[in-house]
């Protein structure tokens, strides 16, 4: 097997809570995450030596700073793989958007190369490698509907989220994860998301409770600096979204729709304002070959 192609989906946060800052500098978090079928496409071709990456988006580095490179290199180091690899990335997921596009690419690389190189590794070992690459990568190796805790590596599988059409709106600016964390006063968070209520509602398929309890502690500071994010959220609701939230550290805002026609109209509305607007659906399969 010397060629593999995979599609790696974006994720959205249904909840995102910060519990404390740890002594190692990381933050203890608790969040419910969900994959959506907005996907990047990755092609892998075996080479004699080295790691070569080509990307459709020229803003993305193709050197050792790329999470895909780090994932391939981590597997080579961990399992003594001598073969090389050429990886072509066709980006569809927007950059610096709070949608874990880079983490999903890294996760897809781990799983694709594990298969290509016939690596025998336990889930725990692969999870440790994923964790060393980035906090969202362990989740992205699983996908679907998950409660993530710790720094994101402690994963609990939840029942599949009821199906939704998802409209994603990414404004022209970006918000760095570091800025988001630095601007949250952890001791004075006004309202923590109710992860237990959301997890329970997912178990019972209770859409109304899920929609009512979407929550992200990064929103307050982000909305204060970028008021248009709050306006996007309000407009999504007015256009028929059953719930709306900022994903991750932002700035992408999304709306959950149970009516595809309304989702399409919302998409068309925002495409008249922003360049990066997407209509997707919730999905439960991570890597599609």
The annotation places the binding site at: 94-104
Q: Which residues on adjacent β-strands are paired with residue 90?
A: 41
Detail the residues annotated as belonging to a binding site for ATP.
Answer: 94-104
Spatial distance between the Cα atoms of 100 and 231, rounded to a whole number of angstroms: 23
Spatial distance between the Cα atoms of 244 and 235, rounded to a whole number of angstroms: 10
Q: Which of 136, 142, 242, 279 is catalytic?
A: 136
Q: Which residues on adjacent β-strands are paired with residue 29?
A: 18, 150
Known catalytic residue: 281? no
Known catalytic residue: 40? no
Q: Report, as residue numbers or ranges, the catalytic residues.
A: 11, 136
């Amino acid at each position: 097997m010397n060629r593999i192609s995979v599609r790696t989906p974006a994720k959205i946060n249904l909840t995102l809570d910060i519990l404390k800052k740890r002594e190692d500098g990381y933050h203890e978090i608790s969040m419910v995450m969900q994959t959506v079928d907005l996907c990047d496409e990755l092609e892998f071709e075996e080479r004699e030596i080295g790691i070569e990456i080509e990307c459709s988006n020229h803003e993305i580095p193709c050197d050792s700073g790329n999470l895909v490179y780090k994932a391939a290199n981590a597997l080579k180091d961990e399992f003594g793989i001598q073969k090389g690899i050429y990886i072509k990335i066709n980006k569809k997921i927007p950059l610096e958007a709070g949608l874990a596009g880079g983490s999903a690419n890294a996760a897809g690389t781990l799983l694709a190369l594990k298969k290509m190189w016939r690596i025998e590794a336990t889930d725990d070992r692969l999870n440790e490698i994923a964790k060393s690459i980035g906090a969202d990568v362990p989740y992205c190796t699983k996908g679907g509907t998950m409660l993530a805790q710790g720094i994101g590596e402690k994963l609990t599988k939840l029942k599949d989220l009821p199906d939704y059409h998802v409209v994603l709106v990414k404004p022209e600016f970006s918000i760095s994860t570091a800025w988001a964390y630095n601007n949250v006063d952890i001791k004075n968070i006004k309202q923590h998301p109710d992860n237990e209520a959301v997890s329970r509602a997912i178990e019972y398929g209770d859409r109304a409770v899920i929609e009512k309890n979407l929550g992200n502690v990064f929103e307050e500071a982000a909305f204060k600096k970028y008021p248009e994010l709050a306006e996007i959220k309000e407009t999504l609701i007015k256009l028929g979204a059953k719930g709306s939230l900022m994903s991750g550290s932002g700035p992408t805002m999304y709306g959950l729709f149970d009516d595809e026609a309304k989702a399409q109209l919302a998409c068309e509305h925002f495409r008249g304002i922003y360049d990066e607007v997407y209509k997707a659906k919730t999905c439960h399969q991570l890597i599609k070959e």
